[in-house]
Amino acid sequence: MTPDRLTDDEVHALVKSVNMSEIAISDVSETKNIRSFEFGSDDLSLLGDYYALRVINERFARLARTVFQPMLRVQPRITALPPEVKTFDEYCKEFPTLMCLTTSRINELRGSKMMVIQPEFISTLTNAYYGGVLGQKYKPSTEFTSTESRIIEIVTEGLSRNLLIAWQDLMPLTFSDESREENLQFASFVDGEETVIICSFTIELPQENKAKFDILYPLQTLKPIAAQLRSRMQSEVVDDDLTWRERLERAVTEVRLTVNVQLSKPRISLRQLIEVQKGDVYPIQLRDGLSVLVHGQKMFAADIGEIAGFNAITITEKLNQNQTND
């Protein structure tokens, strides 16, 4: 059996090791810039290293390309930066007055999130969407135009939809009560002293400076799922990363087409056509089986009628290729 008490040699060795460690600690503290720290005083330690949030952001960065590519007509490179923690006042100091701010409520977490997009990038998207070229100089403005507001609506809806997909592995979320603002000081998000988690994404485009957009979460919103955010999240849900063919098919099916109904085909002579004057009346006969034309091409046969006090047509037949050529 081993004795319960230490021998004299063991006690002297133990005391000597303690004295040597104190000397080493004092030498390090004198030569290095070390500040004191009290365990439990830092509330941010509850979220660990944000591993799960990093995974969500990386997945979201891949999905976000499908929102910008149809507008820019190039494949942007989107990079998810490591999350940062600041007070809301500190965050607001870095940006100009005019910003694209979209706030929505996260129902499951009983909190909110804010999406912040730089006005320079909104101008680039608007210019490219309506046929412009990349690389044009941004002209600062005090407010967004109606066209830019429409672009903001399209972009934020697409990003929010993809953000929900990115969160599916950790927990399914829903967004509601969406509102938009153009000034950080007027945005009803959180108090200035409250801490927010900033998830930033950089966008690299040819002939353009790097653009950036941010997603902000209040610290209090993510605290209930701190344990899940520290976990090594594994992907169990297949990413909805559409292929080029699927994106093209979706874009084609959303194209708006002009539909016309041919009521009659009266015939007049060239002499009558030359002598046509304002007020002349030419009788026509309405018949069954009217032709419905889509961009000048016969597609359907229809009958004319009325519904709720408005003129209407009823599709009676879809014409085949031989019938459309007649």
Model confidence pLDDT, tens digit, residues 92-136: 887 777 889 999 999 999 899 999 998 889 988 998 888 887 877
Residue 121 DSSP label: H
Whether residue 64 is found in the same domain as residue 209: yes
Which of the residue ranges 30-34, 154-158, 300-304 would you say has the lowest mean pLDDT?
30-34
DSSP symbols for 238-272? ------HHHHHHHHHHT----EEEE-------HHH
Q: Residue 41: pLDDT band by 50, 70, 90 thresholds?
A: very low
Whether residue 105 is found in the same domain as residue 198: yes
Nearest alpha carbon to residue 72 among 143, 16, 135: 135
Q: Is 100 helix (H, G, I), strand (E, B) or coil?
A: strand
For the purposes of burial, counting CB atoms within 10 Å of the CB of 79, is it exposed (0-12), middle (13-18) or buried (19 or more)?
middle
For residue 53, count other CB atoms closer than 10 A to its CB.
25
Whether residue 300 is found in the same domain as residue 152: no
Q: Which ranges of the chain would DSSP assign to H, the alpha helix? A: 8-31, 51-72, 88-92, 119-129, 146-167, 219-222, 226-230, 244-253, 270-274, 321-324
Q: Residue 167: pLDDT band by 50, 70, 90 thresholds?
A: very high
Whether residue 228 is found in the same domain as residue 298: no
How far is residue 197's CA from residue 90's CA, in Å, rounded to a whole number? 12
Whether residue 81 is found in the same domain as residue 185: yes
Q: Residue 246: pLDDT band by 50, 70, 90 thresholds?
A: confident
CATH number of domain containing 288: 2.30.330.10
Whether residue 105 is found in the same domain as residue 166: yes
Q: Residue 46: pLDDT band by 50, 70, 90 thresholds?
A: very low
Q: Please report whether residue 16 resides in a domain.
A: no
Whether residue 176 is found in the same domain as residue 297: no
Whether residue 184 is found in the same domain as residue 307: no
Structure tokens at 154: 């399209």
Residue 45 has pLDDT above 50, yes or no: no
Give the structural domain span for 299.
256-276+283-324
Put simply, whether the predicted model's pTM sits higher than 0.85 gets the answer no
Average pLDDT over residues 143-155: 91
Whether residue 194 is found in the same domain as residue 302: no
How far is residue 284's CA from residue 83's CA, in Å, rounded to a whole number? 71
Whether residue 221 is found in the same domain as residue 140: yes
Mean pLDDT of the chain: 81
Q: Please report whether residue 149 resides in a domain.
A: yes
pLDDT for 37 equals 57
Whether residue 320 is found in the same domain as residue 203: no
Residue 1 has pLDDT above 80, yes or no: no
pLDDT for 159 equals 93
Which of the residue ranges 104-118, 143-157, 200-214, 221-235 would you say has the lowest mean pLDDT?
221-235
Q: Please report whether residue 100 resides in a domain.
A: yes
Whether residue 215 is found in the same domain as residue 291: no
pLDDT for 79 equals 92
For the purposes of burial, counting CB atoms within 10 Å of the CB of 92, is it exposed (0-12), middle (13-18) or buried (19 or more)?
middle
How far is residue 111's CA from residue 224's CA, in Å, rounded to a whole number? 11
Q: Please report whether residue 153 resides in a domain.
A: yes
Q: Please report whether residue 156 resides in a domain.
A: yes
Q: Residue 80: pLDDT band by 50, 70, 90 thresholds?
A: very high
* Residue type, position 175, single letter: F
pLDDT for 31 equals 55
Angle of helix 51-72 relative to helix 146-167, nearest 10 degrees, comes to 140
Nearest alpha carbon to residue 211 among 97, 307, 310, 76: 76
Number of domains in the chain: 2
Q: Please report whether residue 101 resides in a domain.
A: yes
